[in-house]
Amino acid sequence: MSSVTVQGPTFSDGDPSHRPTGSGFVRANEDGYLQKLAEKWMQEAGVADDDETYSLARLPAGYEVWERPRINNPNHSDKWLYGHPNHKTFDSPNRFYPHFFFLMHNGHQDCTCDKCLNHKTKIRDTMSVQKAPLLKAPFDEEGIPDKFKHLFTHLKSEALLTRKIEERASMEWQVERAVAKSAADSITQSYIPRHGEIVMYVSLAQGHELRQDASTHRFKVYKTINSGKTPKSQWVGAPTWLAGIITDNPSSTTRAVNFPQYRIEQLPTSGSVKEHHYTTLSLIRPFAFMKACLFGIPKDEWHPSIHAAIAACTTVSLIDRQDFVGNWPHAHVYSHGIFIGAESYWIGDLVRLLPESVPTDMAPAGTVPVMQIKKIQTVFHNIRAAEDAETCVEADVFESMEICFHGPVVTLSKAKTTNENTSNAEKEAEAGEAATKDV
């Protein structure tokens, strides 16, 4: 069984002036605290291994364990942890753990330990921030266990490794799980904007509607006027297109085109105040339709949120990473979904593959291949281990990486159909190769 040293928090509110004042106190061995805190942290982070023992390198800065023999039983000593900014002591590692959890998250959330909750003064008002020495270990800059560095380290020692991925200490992982559950309900033939996607939208007053002029291809806003028996529509001007992120969408049983059920947070710009709108599906367009929405509108008249969205579309983010399979020095990570620019793609989605030479809008009908996504795979090539650290790998932990989509491909083009005698393995290989090249 191997021993792993876990980095403690780089942030601390420990008060070095809080120490015992009575007689008979001496510094105590801190191993019990170091081991129990590290083991519980690694277990909750989902990275604990049955073949390993864990221990903190040191307690958070400003905290110390002191002990004093009992008066009626001098052979037994009671221990207390000192250093809390409210000058309250902890009598066990389990009592201290909620505060330790608070420190590991850099104090970015309220502490739930009884020493903070029962004190009238908020912990943040009396906090003295101290930085503990940084140690090389598989944690990120926020003190959250770096799951992939941890797995890469184990892969190097074991050569072959297969693990389920859980990151319970990461708030981002918890949110991704919720987004994945929401996305599972939105796999449909119709366009439904998904949670987290960037969209184009307009916010209109009641009685106004958005239409596209068939002759000019420009979008216009019309107002319905009830004059006489027949309502009339009056053109009132061009719409102001905004860009935002879907932060709440209705369930599959309550969707309506003309009911404001979609909450959209407008993308922030320099100096702007955070805004959100509730709008209808009829006023939302995929961000891929940006050129069509802004057709005829000079670039200097675009809303600033459009430019912020364009910058955000240069990113790629894997969502709900589920499985790790490694064969040193290479590894594969399988995810449930991925954000590519403004849109998300999930297992089960149907996607069109880009033609190799002919633009999609010019390709003959039925000749554009369509793939159903069965796997979203991230491949890490030539993982490099650090020579000067025992428990982690370097920041540039791999030589290269690629993201691949795998799934069956269908087409009406006879020239691209697979020979009936081709083996299933060859078909899957060809499908994966097509996905890797063209998606």
Task: List, for residues 292-334, the tens digit of each pLDDT value.
Answer: 899 888 899 899 999 999 998 888 988 888 889 989 889 999 9
Calculate the dihedral angle through the C-alpha atoms of 34, 36, 41, 44, rounding to the nearest 10 degrees.
170
Residue 164 pLDDT grade (very low, low, confident, very high; cuts 50, 70, 90): confident
| Angle (deg, nearest 10), helices 31-45 and 93-104 | 60
- Give the pLDDT confidence score for residue 65 in this predicted structure: 94
Residue 252 pLDDT grade (very low, low, confident, very high; cuts 50, 70, 90): low
Using a 10 angstrom Cβ sphere, with 0-12 exposed, 13-18 middle and 19 or more buried, the burial of residue 328 is middle
- Give the pLDDT confidence score for residue 119 in this predicted structure: 54
Rounded CA Rg of the chain: 29
Q: Report the half-sphere exposure of 38 (CA within 13 A, side-chain side).
A: 24
Average confidence score pLDDT of the chain: 77
pTM higher than the cut 0.85: no
Nearest to 139 by CA among 109, 94, 106, 110: 106
Alpha helix (H) residue ranges in 108-201:
114-117, 147-158, 171-184
Mean pLDDT along residues 137-145: 57
Residue with tokens 């037994």: 76
- Give the pLDDT confidence score for residue 361 in this predicted structure: 55
